[in-house]
């Protein structure tokens, strides 16, 4: 793959939405408004204004609009409640249900095969809390994260590392059991969570309940098509769960 | 703001045309970074109405049109400007005479 092809793929969205605008400038403009919680409709409108002006004036956007970030903020576009933390959590809920179902299914299934009850330890709880805290903080401080990817990676690893080491220490203690339940019913609950999470993911990919695409003016929203790659991605977690659940059966 | 509203009095037009109109009238170069935030504010205040129209052989253009409230505001700003410019003119041209009177 050539460097030019890679570049054109990277800026495919910017070139589609604003072909007369420098894609680097457009990228920063879109990113700034996205991080500020502006809706896709308003972003599409504002970007089309820039593109139209650049096409008429043959000027570089930096020359006539200045910094993409400063210009984006100067427009004072309204923020969309669906783009806030509540919206992000709603969007992430199906994946969260899937991952929780996967963890419950695999741990309880393994316990069932070994003839043991399902045990939720303090260690697992600690890892879950560390993971949820990291993910929530990630969405709250997304702008900072994009500016400091290496430091973010280090902090993320440190938090999860503390969780894993802490869980190992807690699990090594005999008093670490928090809840003990029959294994097979827990597996059934886990599978049900997987089915619910996957159904929600597929519905979202087909009708777009949580996404907020950038809409170009004069282009009908009816043009939206089903994102089949998103539909396929929805099945990654259940397929992975099935594969991981078969491994201990084959090994026994 | 007055000049921008005034450039819309002949009918709906788009941002680049407004900037070009102001430049032709020797009112200086208005950058997109200044013009569009102002047009956004005027739209938010209900002084202009905006709509997209398909471009011929190029991208679409966002046309801005004065609303009734915008026309009223334009009249108010014109009166205020007329009064202000009259005050400034009187002050600038009477200053030497007034100064002489004061010193004598």
Give contacts of B 31-90 with A, CB under 8 A: 31-33, 36-37, 40-41, 44, 52, 54-55, 58-62
Number of Cα atoms under 13 Å in the Cβ half of residue A136 = 7
CB A96 within 8 A of CB A139: no
Query: Which DSSP symbol is given to B11?
Result: S
Q: Which residues contact B78 (CB under 8 A, 6 or more apart)?
A: B2, B6
In this predicted structure, what is the pLDDT of residue B2? 87
ipTM of the complex: 0.81
CA-based diameter of chain B, in Å? 70
pLDDT in tens, B23-47: 998 888 889 999 999 999 999 999 9
Chain A hits for B23, CB-CB cut-off 8 Å, are none
> In A27-172, which ranges are E strands?
118-121
Chain B residue with minimal CA distance to A76? B37
Q: What's the rounded Cα separation, in Å, for the pair B94 and A206?
A: 75
Answer with the one of A27, A61, A80 that is the final residue of a domain: A80
User: What integer best gives the mean pLDDT of chain B?
Assistant: 87
Q: Are A152 and A179 in the same domain?
A: yes
Nearest to A211, CA basis, from A189, A188, A229: A229
Q: For A19, list phi and psi in degrees, rounded to 5.
A: -70, -20
Q: Are A58 and A101 in the same domain?
A: no
Q: Are A148 and A247 in the same domain?
A: yes
Domains in chain B, CATH or no CATH each: 2-103 (1.10.10.10)
Shortest CA gap B75–chain A (Å) = 26
- Nearest CB to B61 within list A52, A66, A70: A52
Q: Are A47 and A73 in the same domain?
A: yes
- Nearest CB to A52 within list B31, B33, B62: B62
Q: Are A31 and A131 in the same domain?
A: no
Which residues of chain B are under the pLDDT cut of 50? none
Q: Are A66 and A88 in the same domain?
A: no
- A65 and B32: CB-CB below 8 Å? yes
Chain B residue with minimal CA distance to A65? B33
Which residues of chain A are under the pLDDT cut of 50? 1-4
Q: What is the end-to-end Cα distance of chain A in Å, rounded?
A: 45
In this predicted structure, what is the pLDDT of residue A1? 44
Q: Are A171 and A132 in the same domain?
A: yes
Q: Are A51 and A65 in the same domain?
A: yes
DSSP secondary structure of B21-89? HHHHTTS----HHHHHHHHHHHHHTTSEEEEEE--SSS--EEEEEE-HHHHHHHHHHHHHHHHHHHHHH
In this predicted structure, what is the pLDDT of residue B41? 92
CB A98 within 8 A of CB A202: no
Domains contained in chain A, number: 2
Domain that holds residue A238: 82-251
Give contacts of A 25-54 with B, CB under 8 A: 45-46, 48-53
Q: Are A75 and A86 in the same domain?
A: no
């Amino acid at each position: 793959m050539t460097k030019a092809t890679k570049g054109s793929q990277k800026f495919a969205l910017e070139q589609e939405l604003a072909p007369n605008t420098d894609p680097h400038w457009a990228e920063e403009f879109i990113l700034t408004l996205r991080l500020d919680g502006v809706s896709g409709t308003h972003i599409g409108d504002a970007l089309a204004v820039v593109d139209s002006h650049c096409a008429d004036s043959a000027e570089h956007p930096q020359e006539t609009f200045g910094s993409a970030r400063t210009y984006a903020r100067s427009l004072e576009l309204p923020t969309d409640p669906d783009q806030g933390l509540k919206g992000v959590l709603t969007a992430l809920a199906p994946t969260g249900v899937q991952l929780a179902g996967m963890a419950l299914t695999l741990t309880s299934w393994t316990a069932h095969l070994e003839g043991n009850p399902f045990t939720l330890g303090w260690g697992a709880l600690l890892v879950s809390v560390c993971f949820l805290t990291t993910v929530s903080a990630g969405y709250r401080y997304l702008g900072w994260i994009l500016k400091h990817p290496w430091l973010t990676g280090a902090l993320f690893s440190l938090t999860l590392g503390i969780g894993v080491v802490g869980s190992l220490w807690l699990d090594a203690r005999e008093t670490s059991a928090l809840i003990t339940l029959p294994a097979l019913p827990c597996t059934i609950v886990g599978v049900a969570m997987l089915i619910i999470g996957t159904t929600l993911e597929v519905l979202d990919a087909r009708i777009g309940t949580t996404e907020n695409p950038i809409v170009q003016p004069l282009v009908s929203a009816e043009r939206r098509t089903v994102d089949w790659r998103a539909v396929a991605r929805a099945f990654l977690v259940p397929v992975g769960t099935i594969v991981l659940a078969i491994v201990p059966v084959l090994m026994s | 703001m007055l000049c921008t509203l005034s450039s819309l009095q002949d009918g709906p037009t788009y941002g680049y045309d407004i900037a070009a109109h102001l430049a032709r009238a020797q009112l200086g170069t208005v950058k997109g970074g200044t013009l569009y935030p102002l047009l956004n504010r005027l739209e938010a205040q209900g002084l202009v109405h905006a709509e997209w129209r398909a471009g011929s052989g190029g991208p679409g253009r966002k046309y801005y049109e004065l609303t009734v409230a915008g026309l009223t505001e334009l009249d108010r700003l014109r009166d205020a400007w007329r009064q202000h410019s009259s005050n400034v003119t009187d002050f600038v041209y009477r200053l030497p005479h007034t100064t002489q009177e004061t010193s004598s």
